Amino acid sequence: MNAIELTGVSKRYGEVLAVDDLNLTVEPGRTVALLGPNGAGKSTTITMLLGLLRPTSGRVRVLGRTPGEAVAAGQIGAMLQEGTLIPELTVRELVDFVRRLYPDPLPLGEVLRTADLTDLASRRAARLSGGQTQRVRFALAIAGAPKILVLDEPTAAMDVESRRAFWAGMRAYAALGRTVLFATHYLREADENSDRVIVMARGGIVADGTAAEIKAGAGGGTVGFSLGAQSAAGLDALPGVTGVEIVSGTVTLRTSDADATVAALYRRTTLDVRGLTVGGADLEDAFLSLTQAAEV
């Protein structure tokens, strides 16, 4: 049975078609990043997955049930962009209060450890920083040991150290066979913390695969070499080249076809090419080319 199944799901807010005929299945145990620019439809998709919003059309299933049934059975844990904590309670009290609402919760110590909150357990919620509050919200999301964890931009407001601790906790949680779906703007986070990246733009899916597949599928990359005092004239006309950048005598060509660019560099120019480097596209290039193509 699939962990998540969206079939022909659309959501319209008046004039705005926020999600456009989305089809998506996620098998159990996967960690999936939902990546996309502002307004791509990520939050709307997540909100429908949690049963907080009804699709205008289409069908949503979580572990074979409606979202409402899955939530009622404690099978989904969520960390959304909003949500306040009870300020008078300590971190320990809050986490314990929430975990007791579930039939088969994680042990308190394990929740605190996974969310890197052991040292903050006695701190009142009112006295937590933004990043620490986010970690408590993560703790509350996993407290009931849900099979499916849904996180909407979980690292917003976290500093570098909190982020690192958060992702380590998330990976530890996922490593026990649970399914995780998280939305992010951060390409690097998607690349490092998921085994599948779904790129959304304008309410639809524009790419779906591992980060490596998406990078390869977007094609292209960079060709660099030491130009020294030689002229850069004509480099922008070589096959595949989409951009030329020169910094301190080193040129970097952005190209949609690195092989063709390198071949032409040797055959069609008289340049003395030294220190040649060829790099693949990074996820950022792939993301931009995919999401911009969808804007047209």
Ligand X SMILES: Nc1ncnc2c1ncn2[C@@H]1O[C@H](COP(=O)(O)OP(=O)(O)OP(=O)(O)O)[C@@H](O)[C@H]1O
Residue type, 274: R
Residues that bind ligand X (CB under 6 A): 13, 16, 18, 36, 38-44, 185
When the beta carbons of 42 and 99 are compared against ligand X, the nearer one is 42
Radius of gyration of the CA atoms of the chain, in A:
23
CB of 169 to ligand X, least distance (A): 23
Q: Could you tell me the smallest distance in angstroms from the CB atom of residue 40 to ligand X? A: 4
Q: Which residue has the tokens 């999301």?
A: 141
Query: 39 vs 280, which CB is nearer to ligand X?
Result: 39
Q: Which two tokens stand for residue 129?
A: 């920083």
Closer to ligand X by Cβ: residue 66 or 81: 81
Q: Which is nearer to ligand X, 91 or 187 (CB)?
A: 187
Q: Which amino acid is at 276?
A: L
Shortest separation between residue 82's beta carbon and ligand X, angstroms: 11
Of 210, 172, 162, 160, nearest in space to 190 by CA? 210
In this structure, how many other beta carbons lie within 10 angstroms of the beta carbon of residue 221? 22
The helix/strand/coil state of 176 is: coil
Amino acid identity of residue 144, one-letter, is G
Between 36 and 67, name the residue whose CB sits nearer to ligand X: 36
CB 224 within 8 A of CB 247: no
- Report, in Å, the least distance between residue 118 CB and ligand X: 31
- Rounded least distance, CB 147 to ligand X, Å: 24
Contact predicate 278/24, CB 8 Å: no
DSSP state, residue 65: B
**CB nearer ligand X, residue 43 or residue 255:** 43
Least Å from the CB of residue 143 to ligand X: 25
CA 199-44-157 angle, 5° bins: 75
We find the least distance from the C-beta atom of residue 215 to ligand X, in angstroms, to be 21
Taking CA atoms, 197 is separated from 181, 200, 209, in Å, by 10, 10, 5
Structure tokens at 169: 């906790």
- Smaller CB distance to ligand X: residue 156 or 175? 156
